[in-house]
């Protein structure tokens, strides 16, 4: 399985600092990780006192500039990193094998892990696509150490180039070190939640209109939107615990007061987004209940209409049957006397004809009164 320990497949150990092998990939490595080596480096910068002093273009250059300037810290940005690049960074920065496994396999839930002096943070970014009216989710891994920040995007969002430009335009904030980068990334991820919240709110308003308009496709849309809200909740809810965990280490790790304010602001925005998401879940639940009630009412009305139509049809059938029975009696008598047999007792009887007519009239009248009393006529 892809979730097996990547550390077993690649024999990665924290004590290993040997140079990266060129192409030695074990034969039992999953096909997803056995692709040809490629560079997934998007951007890298070496920063001293909040100023970018070097822009290495490969991981080997990153290691070289760090050796030349041990007082600076480096920010390495990767996009859909290959296993080779992750393992190279793991050896150079002594990353824990469990965190490395998560970074390679991806598809992780948001979480915060601390391995000695290295933080490993998994974030789920989200953005609202107006054209398709859906929420797109992305995964971001962040390693933060005393002299490095490594960001690994496994999807299109979030775009970290704007965050890097914003930090580089604020040297005082960037001078606070790698944790300033982490907090800026957290702030950017949470800021992207606001358009998602607004988009979901608009979708819910549209669904309410569809429900009252009796749109038959609304049930499917309610279900799909409920799934998006649930996925969005899985992205936002763990982030509260992540921020609380970072705040718990303020004193122990001597976090700068400015960064503390930064984190508290991010936590406040996250709590608001989480509250809205919880509200959306309750609102969608109520809408689903309302839609089921309206559908049931519509079905009951249709059943009443069918019952009414059936009742009217039954009345018509009764009338037709009653008149058919009334007309059948004289027809029966007339048919018998129309046989023209040679020997019939009433043929020579003077009162035979009037008696036959009277009999037919009495039978018809009797049947009419009987059907009338039973409301068939």
> Mean pLDDT by 10-residue block, N- to C-terminus, for the chain (377 residues)?
43 40 40 51 93 93 93 94 92 93 87 92 92 89 95 86 92 92 92 93 90 82 90 92 89 84 90 92 89 79 78 79 79 73 68 78 84 79
Going through the chain in order, the beta strands assigned E by DSSP cover 41-48, 51-54, 73-79, 111-115, 118-129, 134-145, 148-153
Is the residue at 190 inside a domain? no
- C-alpha 132/C-alpha 227 separation (Å) is 15
CATH of the domain at 140: 3.30.460.20
What token pair was written down for 151? 């960001």
Q: What is the dihedral of CA 50, 53, 57, 58, to 10 degrees?
A: -80
Domain total in the chain: 2
Is the residue at 113 inside a domain? yes
Dihedral sign computed on CA atoms, order 288, 291, 296, 299: negative
Contacts made by residues 247-250, CB under 8 angstroms, sequence distance 24+: 249/114
111-115 and 73-79 beta bridge pairing: unpaired
Dihedral sign computed on CA atoms, order 317, 323, 329, 331: negative
The pLDDT, as a whole number, for residue 371 is 80
Is the residue at 221 inside a domain? no
Is the residue at 269 inside a domain? no
Whether pTM exceeds 0.75: no
Q: Which of 176, 204, 230 is the last residue of a domain?
A: 176
Is the residue at 211 inside a domain? no
Is the residue at 200 inside a domain? no
CATH of the domain at 349: 1.20.58
Contact 99, 143 (CB under 8 A): yes
The pLDDT, as a whole number, for residue 145 is 94
The pLDDT, as a whole number, for residue 154 is 87
Is the residue at 263 inside a domain? no
Is the residue at 36 inside a domain? yes
Task: Identify whether 158 is preceded by a cis peptide bond (ω within 30 of 0).
Answer: yes
Q: Which of 116, 143, 176 is the last residue of a domain?
A: 176
The pLDDT, as a whole number, for residue 113 is 93
- For 100, counting Cβ atoms within 10 Å of its Cβ (0-12 exposed, 13-18 middle, 19+ buried), the class is buried
Q: Which of 157, 176, 195 is the last residue of a domain?
A: 176
**Domain range holding 333?**
312-373
The terminus-to-terminus CA distance of the chain in angstroms comes to 79
- Alpha carbon 295 to chain centroid, angstroms: 24
Nearest residue to 58 (alpha-carbon basis) of 92, 31, 25: 92
């Amino acid at each position: 399985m892809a979730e097996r320990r990547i550390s077993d497949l690649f024999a990665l150990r924290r004590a290993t600092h040997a140079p990266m092998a060129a192409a030695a990939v074990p034969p039992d490595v999953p096909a997803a990780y056995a692709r040809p080596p490629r560079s997934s480096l998007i951007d890298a910068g070496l920063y001293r006192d909040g100023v970018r002093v070097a822009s290495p273009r490969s991981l080997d250059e990153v290691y070289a500039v760090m050796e030349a300037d041990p007082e600076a810290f480096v920010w390495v940005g990767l996009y859909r990193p290959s296993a080779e690049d992750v393992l190279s960074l793991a050896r150079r920065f002594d990353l824990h094998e469990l965190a490395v496994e998560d970074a390679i396999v991806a598809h992780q839930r948001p979480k915060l892990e601390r391995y000695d002096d290295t933080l490993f943070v998994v974030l789920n970014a989200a953005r609202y696509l107006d054209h398709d009216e859906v929420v797109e989710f992305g995964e971001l891994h962040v390693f933060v150490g005393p002299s490095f920040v490594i960001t690994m995007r496994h999807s299109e969002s979030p775009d970290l180039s704007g965050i890097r430009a914003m930090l580089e335009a604020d040297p005082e904030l960037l001078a606070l070190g790698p944790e300033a980068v982490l907090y800026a990334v957290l702030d950017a991820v949470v800021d992207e939640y606001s358009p998602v919240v607004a988009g979901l709110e608009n979708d819910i308003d549209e669904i309410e209109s569809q429900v009252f308009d009796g749109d038959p496709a609304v049930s499917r849309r309610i279900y799909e939107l409920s799934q998006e809200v649930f996925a969005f909740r899985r992205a936002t809810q763990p982030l509260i615990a992540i921020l609380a965990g970072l705040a718990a280490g303020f004193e122990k790790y001597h976090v700068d007061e400015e960064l503390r304010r930064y984190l508290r602001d991010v936590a406040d925005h996250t709590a608001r987004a989480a509250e809205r998401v919880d509200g959306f879940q309750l609102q969608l639940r109520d809408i689903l209940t309302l839609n089921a009630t309206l559908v049931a009412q519509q079905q009951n009305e249709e059943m009443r209409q069918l019952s009414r139509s059936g009742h009217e049809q039954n009345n018509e059938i009764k009338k037709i049957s009653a008149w058919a029975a009334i007309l059948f009696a004289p027809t029966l008598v007339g048919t018998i006397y129309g046989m023209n047999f040679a020997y019939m007792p009433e043929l020579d009887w003077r009162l035979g004809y009037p008696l036959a007519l009277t009999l037919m009239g009495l039978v018809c009248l009797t049947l009419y009164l009987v059907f009338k009393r039973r409301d068939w006529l």
